[in-house]
Amino acid sequence: ETMASMDVGGSNAEAATRMDEGEAKAESMTSKDYYFDSYSHFGIHEEMLKDEVRTSEYKRAIEHNKQNIEGKVVLDIGCGTGILSMFCAKVGAKAVYAIDCSEIATYATKIVKENGMEDVITVIKGKVEEIELPVDKVDVIVSEWMGYFLFYESMLDTVIHARDKWLKPGGVMLPDFLTLNVVGIEDAEYKKEKLDFWDNVYGYSMKCIKEVAITEPLVDVVENNQVCTGVQVLREVRVPDYSVEDCTFTSPFELVAKRNDYIHALVAYFDTHFSTGHKPNMFSTSPAAQQTHWKQTVFYLPEEITICEGERLKGTLSCRPNKGNRRDLDITISYEHNGKWQQAKGQMEYKMR
């Protein structure tokens, strides 16, 4: 999720000058600069590169389907350190244009040179919406654009813009298909620790903070043994056809209990598919899969739901980009349960900021 569209760019004629200036800037950045340009911070790239699931599945999608890449022009959006561009160059891409607007682009240029790939890979520092490429069209777009909850702080808008502007008809997009999924979990202990804590702080009530805290979804690792319902797909993202308008949606869900239990929260995660080519592959950010840096997104419900095996928790989830900042999300969850031991109905407004 490097930020391909959060800085000012310019024409390619200025690229070399910007790289020199960028190098000086990158080496003199303060913590304040890192706050405003967080994707320049090496720690973020280290975390993503060490995310074995993420990096190895992109590598597999490129290497096992080199027919998609060999002799082709590739665009890497939000290239970060340039790792995906180098995977593409290694399998025989004709040319790779790697775009990032944070200061990491300065280092991506050095990394490409360090690995002797500067004849194939061109790093361009700038905003996708503002730069021009030295070619009219590309054959392939590769991007690791996904954010927490798939859509939070994601670069999907930017990828869509690049697709409409540069991708040849029938061109390849990696990845090309994703699903956003939801399950119900039992989480009494953690909910007590994180939320009920505010009911009594050294004998004082701080419930006003609890009321706000519950509206902030928690990004954390969920243990698979906490999952007490089946999975419901909330949203399918077919990247070659998806539009910016599609990022606002309302999806119904119906979660069937796998055992007698209590539901304290709903948990969202996404699956990423590379289905174009000779040998498809995918990775999941499910609690049941090997963990990734995306973890899972936890939405605590305002009440505990008592549910019996086979009973259903029904509802809808609505997601829309925040009006003030499209990278932030406003999410509404409505739910209803008519069970043997409990009838419950509610609605919660959540803010991912």
Distance of alpha carbon 18 from alpha carbon 14, whole angstroms: 6
**Predicted pLDDT at 154:** 86
Residue 165 has pLDDT above 50, yes or no: yes
Residue 303 has pLDDT above 90, yes or no: yes
Please confirm, yes or no, whether 303 is among the known catalytic residues.
no
**Would you place residue 333 in the very low, low, confident or very high pLDDT band (cuts 50, 70, 90)?**
very high
**pTM reported for the whole predicted model:** 0.87
Selected catalytic residue, list 1, 153, 186, 311: 153
**Per mean pLDDT, which range of 33-42, 240-249, 252-261, 329-338 is the poorest?**
33-42
Distance of alpha carbon 335 from alpha carbon 352, whole angstroms: 19
At 180, give phi and psi (nearest 5°). -100, 125
Question: Locate tokens 């040179």: which residue?
Answer: 113
Concatenating the DSSP letter of every residue in 201-245 gives BTTB--HHHHHHHTTS-EEE---GGGB-B--EEEEEEETTT--GG
* Alpha-carbon separation of residue 278 from 59, 60, 72, 90, 198 (angstroms): 14, 12, 16, 18, 54
Please confirm, yes or no, whether 153 is among the known catalytic residues.
yes
Mean pLDDT computed over every residue of the chain: 90
Displacement of CA 171 from its chain's centroid (Å): 22
Each residue's pLDDT tens digit, 99-141? 999 899 999 999 999 999 999 999 999 999 999 999 999 999 9
Check residue 199 and report its DSSP letter. Answer: G
Helix (H, G, I), strand (E, B) or coil at 171: strand
Selected catalytic residue, list 1, 103, 144, 311: 144
Q: What residues are paired with 345 via a beta bridge?
A: 336
Distance between the two ends of the chain, CA-based, in angstroms?
Answer: 16
Residue 117's CB is within 10 A of a number of other CB atoms, namely 18
Distance of alpha carbon 86 from alpha carbon 96, whole angstroms: 9
